[in-house]
Structure 1
């Protein structure tokens, strides 16, 4: 039997006892997904419209200004509201940006950098990479990297594919050479290293449960405090486990979702509670990645 390509044991119940800065028990990563303008749209010449949003009404091959307007709320109104909440608590996030979103609204990623946030790569379009031709995927990765670097004046070091990556994605990221980490994994509460074509590469797992995507139809979150209660319950549990070894928690946000006035208080509750707990290190993903590497090499 050939060697199993999947690692199903991870740290085997013995996670490394790394030290987060200032004795923090949990490194908390807020990821603000910036996808507005990167979604599929027949009006933009795409073969279809995006179907993942709050008002699901498939108009087929016709232009869909309704869906475009839902996405447009994220840049026109929500970004400023979300950025203001982070500013109030002095918290830094990672803005995971589609390349075409950054190309269409460079002012947003520039504002994010000016506020001290990281801007990372979220694909060129808001699309999965599963089944993508290898040469096409290589071009997508390079185009996304170059566009974000040009818009921000700072080269990105992180990557996260929307949903399913391809079997080539991680190797292509390593071959590119500009990426410190990727987040195409959901399988741990700590970063970990993998070997890719003989080279060491860092994975910072992401999460779909501590994520505002659950406000979408069928996703279980309705009120802002549904989100905050769930995230804070996860945080409290990880703090309890940190006596054994520190942990990491990812909180996923989307401009057009958490930025609505009926939900934003949930984010503020999370930031206020965690920042005042004395047990959290709220940090950009690039900072977490670099600190983890230093700890593991020290």
Structure 2
């Protein structure tokens, strides 16, 4: 299979991948399997719906933040090469729309319906506009971490990344009154999940969930490689995120062509998962939002229609990610080697062409 990326002409000099027992999490290609898993949502709900608002404005790549280039990601006219050491005023003002206008349009909608959202707050962003975090806390919403800067962390040295993680925890705690209980990077490095675990442990702060996974429609536990020698491992609860029902697809060529497309897609996803729940396999659904995307007036009405549609259905639990995590942790506490009690994890080990341990390898 060909790769779409540019590679050096002489690939023999590229260092082969080496598994890291401290940072690398094994893959699980099996999950809960054909019969799924009943999360026993409160009140017998058939589906748990999690609205997530990504608040990134002001924390993106820009020379004003000391970066070498401007942001080109997720705005109304994507593409083009980064402008090195030059302000991209048009992109900056596009992001500013989210923080000045779009965010409050979203907040008013959810407060009107008394639907609690999770705010994925980038630390630098709420430092520049603390009212966003304060309003969320005041109205009983969940403020989680979206890292201190909304940038790529792939090539950042571990100690620098740990310093950013600590600064993010301290920033949210200072502005919102308590540290974030959950974490979502989005643009993480291969070390990020373990580094988050390490910093929370070193600071004595509880990490209830992590969302840097797109692997399932249900929460699940993973073993933390760095805990392998711990006498009392705690594991990490994954609350999967979604690029599927995500308004960022307004800003990519293969995404939503109109607000109607967004509404139809999200409604279809809800109907499918709701039906599965009614048939005995309740699921979780994430609806991911960005202030500068769905916060635009022409798109906003599609979101309003979705909220109204969900409100018309019975046995729906609209919950924050922390509420979902607290429920799952209480009902299904961590057991090493298990996705949930009674459901053993089928990990593909750190070898090439690995085969899940619960199946016989093909002859």
Q: TM-score, normalized by length of structure 1?
A: 0.94
1:89-145, Cα deviation, whole Å (9 max, x unpaired): 110100001110011111111011112111110011112322321111111111111
- Match of 1:290, SS state, is helix
Q: Distance in 1 between matches of 2:104 and 2:288?
A: 17
Matched, 1:190 2:187: no
1:243-267, Cα deviation, whole Å (9 max, x unpaired): 2321001111000110000000111
Per the alignment, do residues 17 and 147 of structure 1 end up closer, same or farther by CA in structure 2, a change over 3 Å counting? same
Aligned to 1:148: 172
- How many residues are treated as equivalent by the alignment? 296
Aligned to 1:270: 306
Q: Is the CA contact 1:275–1:282 (under 8 Å) kept in the aligned structure 2?
A: no
- Match of 1:147, SS state, is helix
Aligned to 1:220: 255
Report deviation, 1:69.
0.3
Aligned to 1:205: 240
Can you give the 5+ residue segments of structure 1 that lack an aligned partner in the other structure?
none
Q: TM-score, normalized by length of structure 2?
A: 0.78
Matched, 1:170 2:205: no
Q: 1:124 aligns with which of 148, 159, 178?
A: 148
Q: Distance in 1 between matches of 2:260 and 2:330?
A: 37
Report deviation, 1:225.
2.1
Matched, 1:256 2:277: no
Q: 1:279 aligns with which of 315, 321, 327?
A: 315
The structure where helix makes up a greater share of residues is 1
1:135-180, Cα deviation, whole Å (9 max, x unpaired): 11111111111101111012211111123x2222222222223311
Matched, 1:47 2:68: yes
Report deviation, 1:38.
0.5
- Tell me which stretches of 4 or more aligned residues in structure 1 moved more than 3 Å: 56-60
Q: 1:17 aligns with which of 38, 41, 44?
A: 38
RMSD over equivalenced CA pairs, Å: 1.8
Can you give the 5+ residue segments of structure 2 that lack an aligned partner in the other structure?
1-18, 334-340, 342-363
Q: Is the CA contact 1:35–1:101 (under 8 Å) kept in the aligned structure 2?
A: yes
- Match of 1:15, SS state, is coil
Q: Is the CA contact 1:223–1:262 (under 8 Å) kept in the aligned structure 2?
A: no
Larger Rg: 2
Aligned to 2:273: 238
Report deviation, 1:44.
3.2
